[in-house]
A = this chain, B = another copy of it.
């Protein structure tokens, strides 16, 4: 018995789905989606549906005032076992904090977990099993009210869609230091996982890719000198054998991978410092050889080394190609996520099977 409806066409949609060999990141769409609406002060009944276009009011605040929040998480499957999730309640808790920052109605834990488990359970046979592969899950919510007053919507839609994926980045990344644009203001919404932060990244990402880089690195909005994060990942550096990562503030997204790596690294005996990290100082440490590795992390990217930092004009500062700390932490994290290692922190949650 589930607390949500299952549309009669779901079984056929799942049976008819076959996962292509080349997955990419987001190129393949899972055959089902979960949807539930909040109307007149109450949540309706959720429903698992075949994947497809959704109907929205053309004037809804999700499309006009960016009244929208989302999460990114993964379901893993390992030889013959049930699918598992990694720290799903931390994604739910962040989703709630994002909603609060945006003054949006919050999605209760049971509906969030219903959506995640419904999509994961239905797609279980199609979750790819090679290491680094997973079912990427995208819970999201947006305001439904068509209105021009700057005020949160009374009506909301919460959905979960998914994609069988491989790792977002598969080679060490070329990172462009963004010196002009700012992603999120101090006092703004950078701490929330909300569309406007990503919209503000689009120009820089476009310029970075055109300049032969993979991704932009954001500096703080006030001094423009301190490292915040990449457009979708947090950052760590190894300096004199110690791990350093920017301390959180209201313009950095508090990554769950970041938090996991901090705990894993300390557990493995690393010294780790959260602090304000100046960009020029880090470039100096790289040139001097004191900084031996810089790497990025996130649900999509897992742990991925940075090959070089560069400027829009093409000047670059390369990093050593050996990345032993990044490799060790990546493997330790994946061993937990993919069920090979033990789970000392209790991060793994099994998904109940879904009979269709």
Residues of chain A having any CB pair with chain B under 8 Å: 25-27, 29, 33, 51, 53-59, 62-68, 70, 72, 101-104, 136, 138, 140, 142, 146-152, 159, 161, 163, 168, 180-189, 194-203, 205-206, 209, 215, 221-222, 224, 231-232, 300
Contact = CB atoms under 8 A, between A and B. Distances in A.
A182 B251 CA distance: 11
Contacts of A53: 55-58
Contact of A66 (B159, B198, B206, B221): B198
Given A147-B26, A148-B136, A54 B64 contact: no
B231 A150 contact: yes
Q: When A and B form their complex, which 9 residue pairs have the shortest distance between CB atoms, in order from nearest?
A: A196-B196, A66-B195, A182-B187, A185-B185, A66-B66, A65-B198, A66-B199, A26-B148, A53-B55
This chain's copy number in the assembly: 2
Contacts of A70: 64
Contacts of A103: 202-203, 206
Contacts of A197: 196
21 contacts: A25-B148, A29-B146, A53-B55, A54-B55, A64-B70, A64-B195, A66-B68, A66-B194, A66-B195, A66-B199, A102-B199, A104-B202, A150-B202, A150-B205, A151-B209, A152-B202, A181-B187, A184-B188, A185-B188, A187-B221, A189-B199
Nearest to A152: B202
Contacts of A181: 187-188
Contact of A199 (B33, B67, B224): B67
B148 A300 contact: yes
Contact of A67 (B62, B202, B231): B202
Contact of A65 (B56, B64, B199): B199
Nearest to A205: B150
A196 B200 contact: yes
